[in-house]
Amino acid sequence: MPELAEVEYFRRRWNAGLGQRVAHVLVHPKAGVFKKTDATTLAARLTGATLDASEAAAKQMLFRATAADGAPLWLGIHLGMTGELFVAPAGHAPRKGDHLVLVQRDRALVFTDPRMFGRVLFHEGPDAPAWWTDIAPAVTSPAFSIGALTVFLARRARTPIKAVLLMQERFPGIGNWMADEILWRAAIHPRRPAGSLSPDETKTLHREIRHVATHALRIIGRANAPTMPDPPPDWLFQHRWTDGGLCPKTKAPLVREEIGGRTTCWSPARQKL
């Protein structure tokens, strides 16, 4: 489920636990989400630690904590395809798929992920780990310039633009639905080779990447609702999975096909090859 804005939404769900001590930690150490982490060490070091702050970048979240002995701890979570964070009562009994639970006095912070494409990362030390600092600059930051975009498209010249937009090394946080939303707004066909975009199209693409990211963060990422809000009905998002769905701009039928290994939805009336 989670792309840029959904990750931000889930990150904020754990805000209730910031500034609070972790009384104990429940893990399923053999779960696939701990493939890159020693779950036993993580559980031992987070027990008695205090959660200090959190951030989101790309599709990852970082929770900073201070161990009982004062050491700085860094907990990373990637939600994969089906991961979620939620807050439960302190007595929460972990169910299948609840891979990591930070139990505090007044609540339990739960990471659940049935499909287990998500990952938990852990680091101890004064400096932020590479898995956090190596994340590419946000598409809403000045570093994401038209020049940088142009260079990247040229390098991936023969790949369909849809597949290129999913590359996290340049478009951190963009996922399947955001990529389709961006191309639909920019009126660019998802099969267009990345190297075939004109300077004007590149400029439009750049503008719409920022537009979709900014507004998704505003609508979904900043929401406080207990269930995640959807974008408004004039976004492609609301229509992309409906059989016989119509383009909100042209009212013509939408099309779904696999491009770059992912189901892609577009409006043939406004996105031409």
Shortest approach of DNA to residue 1 CB, angstroms?
A: 4
Where helices occur in the chain by DSSP H, the ranges are 4-13, 39-46, 130-133, 146-155, 161-165, 176-186, 199-216
Residue placing its CB nearer to DNA in the complex, 43 or 136:
136
Q: Token digits for 208?
A: 């719409």
Shortest approach of DNA to residue 266 CB, angstroms?
A: 13
- Interface with DNA by CB under 7 A: which residues? 1-3, 6, 32, 58-59, 78, 80-81, 96-97, 114-117, 155-160, 163, 166, 168, 175-177, 256, 260-263
Residue placing its CB nearer to DNA in the complex, 86 or 117:
117
Report the catalytic residues: 2-3, 59, 262
Residue placing its CB nearer to DNA in the complex, 48 or 268:
268
Please tell me the distance from the alpha carbon of residue 132 to that of residue 228, in angstroms, as a whole number: 25
Q: Are 127 and 64 in contact (CB under 8 A)?
A: no
Residue placing its CB nearer to DNA in the complex, 135 or 246:
135
Shortest approach of DNA to residue 182 CB, angstroms?
A: 13
Shortest approach of DNA to residue 70 CB, angstroms?
A: 31
Please tell me the distance from the alpha carbon of residue 147 to that of residue 225, in angstroms, as a whole number: 38
Place of tokens 């779960």: 31
Shortest approach of DNA to residue 119 CB, angstroms?
A: 8
Q: Give residues with Cβ within 8 angstroms of 52, minimum separation 6.
A: 18, 19, 64, 65, 66
Residue placing its CB nearer to DNA in the complex, 24 or 222:
222
Given the DSSP bridges, would you call strands 24-27 and 98-103 parallel, antiparallel or unpaired? antiparallel
Task: Determine the distance from the C-alpha atom of residue 74 to the mean position of all C-alpha atoms in its chain, rounded to a whole number.
Answer: 18
Q: How far is CA 189 from CA 34, 83, 255, in A?
A: 39, 30, 11
Please tell me the distance from the alpha carbon of residue 102 to that of residue 109, in angstroms, as a whole number: 5
